[in-house]
């Protein structure tokens, strides 16, 4: 019996080698995708995934790129759509530390919606910065708020929310799986501080109902994180509301 076989007491070496092959294939697939959407930095992304990134981070990157592929297809992006290297680098660097499924979906969406025919649009940098500063709990609250708020299109074509979105404490606990009200208060306060949420808890509300009304900035972030480059108006299929009688359009006001 060889020394190598003798040391493999549990017979796990073949399994480990199989896992290694699968991991290598997954990473190669991610590197190929990143190279396709960001050709100027293709070699750098390949080296990053194979040499400088720990396997755990590389697996997260691979998961994000797979989700991004699906979002590009779902949004009928052109075959040659590609992204600015600055955006791809920022998304991969930040997203590689995330294992939470819902947050990975948002990073994948930003990667997909960063791809254009010209590849020089940096507008998603705003949303990359915002997402990089959010916890997984805050992401769940943000997605819930944007999906459930009553949205409308104003007469000047901007997105708005027509009613305050209020949920009971039980709903918030179910959404966040968090029972520490002090933490919930902090998380909602933070979302308000970065202009993604209006409201939070009211100090004199004994029922601890939560006001989760999203801002227009939050809705823009949500749409881009779905992988879409459409405006929120088009994404949610909203029709402009007519201007109120006697009030001239913004272009006619002094």
Q: Are 101 and 254 in contact (CB under 8 A)?
A: no
* CA count, 13 A, side-chain hemisphere, 185: 8
CA distances from 90 to 44, 97, 127 (A): 14, 12, 11
CATH 3.40.50 fits 133-243, yes or no: no
CA distances from 172 to 110, 144, 210, 218 (A): 26, 10, 7, 18
> In this predicted structure, what is the pLDDT of residue 12?
34
> In this predicted structure, what is the pLDDT of residue 58?
80
Query: For the chain, what are the domain ranges?
Result: 16-132, 133-243
Q: What is the mean pLDDT of each run of 10 residues along the chain (254 residues)?
A: 43 40 61 71 54 71 94 93 92 92 98 95 97 98 98 94 94 95 96 95 86 97 97 94 57 42
> In this predicted structure, what is the pLDDT of residue 254?
39
Q: What are phi and psi of 251, to 5 degrees?
A: -70, -20
> In this predicted structure, what is the pLDDT of residue 241?
75
> In this predicted structure, what is the pLDDT of residue 152?
96
Q: Which residues pair with 240 in a beta bridge?
A: 153
> In this predicted structure, what is the pLDDT of residue 11?
38
């Amino acid at each position: 019996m060889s020394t190598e076989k003798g040391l493999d007491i549990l017979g796990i070496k073949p399994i480990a080698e199989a896992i290694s092959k699968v991991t290598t294939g997954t990473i190669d697939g991610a590197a190929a995708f990143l190279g396709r959407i960001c050709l100027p930095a293709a070699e750098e992304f390949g080296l990053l995934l194979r040499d400088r990134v720990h396997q755990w981070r590389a697996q997260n990157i691979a998961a994000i790129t797979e989700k991004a592929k699906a979002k590009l297809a779902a949004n009928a992006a052109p075959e040659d759509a590609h992204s600015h290297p600055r955006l791809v680098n920022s998304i991969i660097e930040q997203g590689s530390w995330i294992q939470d499924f819902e947050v990975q979906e948002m990073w994948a969406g930003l990667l997909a919606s960063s791809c254009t025919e010209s590849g020089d649009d940096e507008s998603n940098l705003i949303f990359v910065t915002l997402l990089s500063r959010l916890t997984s709990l805050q992401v769940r609250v943000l997605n819930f708020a944007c999906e459930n708020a009553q949205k409308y299109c104003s007469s000047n074509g901007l997105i708005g929310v027509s009613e305050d979105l209020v949920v009971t404490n039980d709903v918030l606990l179910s959404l966040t799986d968090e029972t520490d009200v002090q933490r919930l208060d902090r998380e909602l306060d933070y979302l308000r501080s970065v202009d993604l949420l209006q409201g939070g808890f009211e100090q004199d509300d004994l029922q601890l109902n939560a006001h989760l009304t999203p801002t227009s900035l939050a809705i823009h972030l949500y749409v881009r994180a779905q992988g879409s480059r459409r405006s929120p108006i088009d994404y949610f299929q909203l029709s402009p509301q007519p201007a109120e009688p006697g009030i001239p359009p913004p272009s006619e006001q002094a």
